[in-house]
Chain A
Amino acid sequence: MSAEEEENAAELKIGDEFLKAKCLMNCEVALILEHKYEQLQQTSDDPMNQMSQVFEKSLHYVKRFSRYKNPDSVRQVREILSRHQLAEFELCVLGNLCPETVEEAIAMVPSIKNRGRALDDEAIEKMLNDLSLVKQFE
């Protein structure tokens, strides 16, 4: 259980397996699950029965908490965030929570500050501005 003990997302200790894995923002998950749900509807008469509870709950959750609804803006958000040498996990936390201020962003993703990157407050502010622009023009 030692690995479990050391786990801390605030310091980006989430295990090698997940650190290298592709992270998904809620809005991306919504696109994937909705697509899958449509497929299910076409192939079976009773799609509600085919779905696991986990699937159903996840779908409701990501629909409720998706900041961006249309696929183009989802792509843009990932594009903007990926310009800043963020880890996948950090990128998705920012994309999900959409912090409005620099302090909020640092509180949400403390690791953003301590990985020796050239990410100063100004750069973070610029990034947050770009994100809110995507939201406005959606």
Chain B
Amino acid sequence: MFFHIVLERNMQLHPRHFGRDLREKLVSKLMKDVEGTCSGRHGFIVAITGIESVGKGLIREGTGFVTFPVKYQCVVFRPFKGEILEAVVTMVNKMGFFAEAGPVQIFVSNHLIPDDMEFQSGDIPNYTTSDGSVKIQKDNEVRLKIIGTRVDATEIFCIGTIKDDFLGVISDPSATT
């Protein structure tokens, strides 16, 4: 799920930037520093949308650098256990399939794919029901439930399931065109 939240960060700025455009320098450095990063607590920081406040700077002894506490609003993407969302299938193999929902990767193991779906290898590996009516392959859209998350220093990785009511393939791009 995407959220709009306020976060705070202490920004260190080199004295050469002190001047009329100090604030702009601070903001552009902030964007460069935090956009695209990920933490376990807040998830992926997608984009900064505004600056709430810039606090009083504090000179660091010995270096001349100044630390400013900056409060900023941003859009974050944070997956939750138990959350249901839609994702795009990126890779299918006999272990299961990978899907992507925005910045996050989700793995669905073959144990968590309905039992009536069989793995078919070939040019386009896929999972298909015995009557061939439903097929999961690359670029399909699936609706899945997140059942576990693993947090890395720079990434969040999810485990999902499609073995539940109202989960599974949403549409087949080749069928709709």
**A positions within 8 Å CB-CB of B:** 4, 7-11, 13-14, 17-18, 21-26, 28-29, 32-33, 36, 52-55, 57-58, 61-62, 64-65, 89, 92-93, 96-97, 99, 103-104, 107-108
Distance in angstroms from A21 CB to nearest chain B CB is 5
- A53 proximity list for chain B (CB < 8 A): 36, 103
Determine which of B47, B75, B78, B102 lies in contact with A57 in the assembled complex, contact meaning CB atoms within 8 Å: B102
- By the criterion CB–CB under 8 Å, are B2 and A26 in contact? yes
Rounded to whole Å, the gap between the CB of B130 and the closest CB of chain A is 25
Distance of A52 Cα from B3 Cα, bound (Å): 18
What residues of chain A lie closer than 8 Å to B80, measured between beta carbons?
Answer: 7-9, 14, 18
Give the residue name and chain of the B residue nearest to A92 (CB): B1
For A55, the chain B residues whose CB sits under 8 A away are 35-36, 46-47
Of the candidates B44, B47, B84, B86, the one whose C-beta lies within 8 Å of that of A65 is B86
Report the bound CA distance from A67 to B142 in whole Å: 15
Contact B44–A54 (Cβ < 8 Å): yes
21 A-B residue contacts at CB 8 Å?
A9-B81, A13-B82, A17-B5, A21-B4, A23-B1, A29-B2, A29-B46, A29-B75, A33-B46, A36-B47, A54-B36, A54-B37, A54-B44, A54-B102, A55-B47, A61-B100, A61-B102, A62-B2, A65-B86, A96-B86, A107-B164
State the CA gap A29–B47 with chains docked (Å). 10
Within 8 A of A (CB), among B149-177: 149, 151, 164-166
Most buried by B among A28, A58, A65: A58
Given A33-B47, A52-B36, CB of A93 within 8 Å of CB of B1:
yes
